[in-house]
Structure 1
Amino acid sequence: MFCKKHLPLKILSPTKTAIFFGFIFSLLTSTNILAAAGDSITNIATINYDIAGIAGSSNASVSFIEDRRVNFLVTESNGSAVPVISDMNNAVMQFTITNNGNIVHDFLVAAVNASPNPFTTVADNFDPLAGTVNVFAESGVTPGYQVVEDTAVFIDELAANASRDVYIVADMPTRAVGDDAALALVAQAAEGGVAGVEGTAINADDNGNVSPAGLFSNGLTNMPAGTVNTVPDSPLTMETVFNDPVGLNLEDVSTDGVQDVVSNGQHADAGAYEVISPVNVLKAVTVIDTVGGIDPHPGATLRYQLTVTVSGNVAVDNLIITDVIPVNTTYTDASILLNGVAQTDANDAPVDYSRAIDILSKPVVSIEIDLSQGNVVSVAPGITNVIIFEVTIN
């Protein structure tokens, strides 16, 4: 229960000339511990007494209306930078908004470029492509961001003590591996009460606190800064009290671009995107010795396996894998397999797009597999290619 009013309790006393043989005082208070905003809370004091054997009693009461406590929390949910690749589309960053107040609220949401990187010492050195950064609320149908399902641009009718997931979705520019982009998700308290309709922003409370101006709902709602309210406190009116916490770190910014302050009707937390390589390669080796064991002695065979996977959601062009033959070994002719299919050693495209370099003059110095087939085929994300070749220990 939250209340900023402090009201006196009036007790009616019997006359000073009375003779008291017994006196009992009781104080009855509201038991509405989890009172909702707008509830009437009444306090009653009762006095029971005897005067010359005649019982008497009196009481007094006082009431007030429970204020609206605006308190909520934005929490980044990924726990580390979200891995993305250069030129990736629809990269998703997840947050959770929790209503810690005492009434149903709508919440307006916006993504704001922030700095520094909230997770590492790597500098925040780029922003997502302008015009591609959007924020969507979880629909509750399928967990995780779903393009078709999660289309709401504000949090609708979030009950007290309830939470909702929110997603920042953005496209990446062309960037180098290791680059980072920090963004803060900003939530703004708004009026609840009508399902499916975005509530009006609550940009000022009744204690002189105001919200900074901001652009919300993917650019659809342009909220002005709040105006300081100097209306005197009234016990018979449900008043609005901003009680939202401060942004914990420098990058947890409000819509004005500076660190979020306490009791401004907004709260923020920051996340980050980090550019990784779009192609992942795992390499393993199996030893096959001359007597069927695994002893790597001269004459034993080393069978190498490369597993190549494209990440993200952007196809890769001109993807060529080259592997140098280790020193003190000799390439085994015609041992290249691509996804289980035997490849020729000769440079004979379009028969296949694999070759053993210097196969004619020997020794072979490396093998090469062109997964893009002369840069004609783009390798789609999620596709895995397995390459195997063998060498013999000299």
Structure 2
Amino acid sequence: MKKALYFALGTASALSIATSAVAAPTPAGTDVNNTATIGYATGGVTQANVLSNTATFKVDQKVNLTVAEVGGLVTPTSPGGSNFVTTFTVTNTSNATLDFALSAAQLTSGQTVAFGGTDSFDQTNVRIFVDSNNNGIYDAGVDVATYIDELAADATRTVFIVSDTPAGQADASLAGVVLTATAAAGGTTGTQGSALVQTVGADNPAAIDIVFADTAGKTDALRDGKFSADDTYKVIAPTLALVKSSKIISDPFNGTTNPKRIPGATVEYCIVATNTGAGAANNAIISDSLASVTGVTYQPNSIYTGVTVSSGTCNADGTLQTDAVDGDQSNFGSNTVTSNLGTISGGASSAIRFRVTIN
């Protein structure tokens, strides 16, 4: 007598896992249970199915993450300024909730920085803070956490590097900073977990093995449980040059026709302030003391501001200022010419002129 046999393999649980894998990774630690069924007939009569044992294994933990700079531009700073912010995101692309330890480092002088150029100085007072209210903006005194706590799989958190710029840095100087996130064990809210260690040796189907799947970032290596990205601080500062010149206006004998610099002659000083930097020079004040200049005497009410310049020489224009401290831009006191030029934008210049008599 012939017997007919047929097999039916797989279960609904296995099918559901395959379906969910399209949407999201199966969480680490998930028990995958699978049984097989054999059906058969004998003598033309279908017999009861025979079940296999249940084969069980745990889904291992795939550790992966990315760190990315936000904005795609340098962060402008000013010499001597504080609390300049660079912004990053940290994304948990693992299949488990994790903590992430955070560290900041600075590139060394000469290294290539993000967005081009080379590092030439270090920021000071470098700190790291996690965005507590998820608004993407650093809020001093609000964003105080220094590590990422319990970040779910496929979730992202914003992180800030906050630092100060030393005084005296030149315009266009660059400082590169690197944020590194290191995967750590999750599971306890309010406590930073320990750094994860990749499982070595053979697979253990009854345990949760750990596999690093991260790529190499700016300064970290392939499959090290870390990822890093960099950003750049750029100094935007004024660079002022001050040039003073003089020209003869008249003398008592020749008048204004080919005058000479003899006693009694009138000489005009021209002072030009030029900003060759990118940043604006605010509250720029020229101070010119004549106390130590022998042989000349200031001519009262001869200060002109807003003077234009041609070929480095003041033109005969501008606005006449009074010598008194009366709210206008300039004054004369204690044998000193003082003029507030206001703001000199990057690439711009401002000039004043005034006259003296040769004693």
The residue aligned with 2:9 is: 26
Check whether the contact 2:329–2:339 (CA below 8 A) recurs between aligned residues. Answer: yes
Give the structure 2 partner of residue 245 of structure 1.
215
Runs of 4+ in 1 over 4 A off after TM superposition: 315-318, 326-330
| RMSD of aligned residue pairs (Cα, Å) | 3.3
SS at match of 1:268: strand
Larger radius of gyration: 2
Task: Summarize the alignment of residues 345-360 of structure 1 with structure 2, pairs less than 5 Å apart.
Answer: 345-348=321-324, 350-352=325-327, 354-355=329-330
Distance 1:24 1:67, change over 3 A: closer
1:267 is aligned, of 210, 218, 227, to: 227
Q: Which moved more, 1:35-44 or 1:116-125?
A: 116-125
Distance in 1 between the 2:224 and 2:171 partners? 38
Alignment partner, residue 341 of structure 1: none
What is the percentage of aligned positions where both structures have the same residue?
29
* Deviations 1:47-73 (CA, angstroms, capped at 9, x unpaired): 212121232322334210011111111
Contact 2:7–2:39 (CA under 8 A) maintained in structure 1: yes
Q: Supply the distance in 2 between the matched residues of 1:142 and 1:23 (Cα, whole angstroms).
A: 60
CA contact (8 A) 1:347 1:354 kept: no
Counting only pairs closer than 5 Å after superposition, residues 332-371 of structure 1 correspond to structure 2 as: 333=319, 345-348=321-324, 350-352=325-327, 354-355=329-330, 368-371=339-342
Q: Equivalent residues in 2 for 1:1-394 (5 A)?
A: 19-21=2-4, 23-28=6-11, 29-32=14-17, 33=21, 34-56=25-47, 57-60=49-52, 61-114=54-107, 116-129=111-124, 132-140=125-133, 142-174=135-167, 175-202=169-196, 204-207=197-200, 230=201, 232-247=202-217, 252-253=218-219, 260-277=220-237, 319-320=284-285, 323-326=306-309, 331=317, 333=319, 345-348=321-324, 350-352=325-327, 354-355=329-330, 368-371=339-342
Q: For 1:114 and 1:133, how far apart are their aligned partners in 2?
A: 13
Q: CA 1:58–1:191 in 2, change beyond 3 Å: closer, same or farther?
A: same
Q: How far apart are 1:46 and its partner, in Å?
A: 1.7
- Asked whether the equivalents of residues 307 and 319 of structure 2 are also in contact (C-alpha less than 8 Å), the reply is no
Deviation at residue 75 of structure 1 after TM alignment: 0.4
- 1:353–1:370: 8 Å Cα contact kept in structure 2? no
Query: Which has the higher mean CA deviation after the structures are superposed, 30-39 or 88-97?
Result: 30-39
**Counterparts of 1:278 and 1:62, CA distance in 2:** 72
- CA distance in structure 1 between the aligned counterparts of 2:63 and 2:79, rounded to whole angstroms: 40
More strand by percentage: 2
Measure the CA separation in 1 of the matches of 2:2 and 2:119: 81
How many Å apart are 1:330 and its aligned residue?
Answer: 5.3
Q: TM-score, normalised by structure 1?
A: 0.61
Q: Which whole-Å CA distance do the structure 1 matches of 2:156 and 2:205 have between them?
A: 31
Q: CA deviation at 1:351?
A: 2.1
The verdict on how the C-alpha distance between 1:49 and 1:122 changes in structure 2, with shifts beyond 3 A counting, is same
Report the Cα distance in structure 1 between the residues aligned to 2:174 and 2:62, rounded to whole angstroms.
37
1:316–1:194 Cα change, 3 Å: farther
Query: Distance in 2 between the 1:156 and 1:278 partners?
Result: 42
Distance of 1:146 and 1:36 partners within structure 2 = 34
Query: Cα gap change, 1:142/1:347 in structure 2, threshold over 3 Å: closer, same or farther?
Result: farther
Query: Where does the alignment leave 5 or more consecutive residues of structure 1 unmatched?
Result: 1-17, 208-229, 254-259, 280-310, 335-344, 358-366, 373-386, 388-394
Q: CA-to-partner distance for each residue in 1:330-368, whole Å, 9 max, x for gaps?
A: 53645xxxxxxxxxx1343x32351499xxxxxxxxx95
Q: Distance in 2 between matches of 1:197 and 1:274?
A: 36
1:44–1:118: structure 2 CA closer, same or farther, 3 Å change rule?
A: farther
Partner of 2:264 in structure 1?
A: none
Kept in 1: contact 2:74–2:231 (CA 8 A): yes
C-alpha distance in 2 between matches for 1:64 and 1:35: 13
- The verdict on how the C-alpha distance between 1:332 and 1:276 changes in structure 2, with shifts beyond 3 A counting, is closer
1:234 aligned counterpart, secondary structure: coil
How many residues were matched structurally?
A: 270
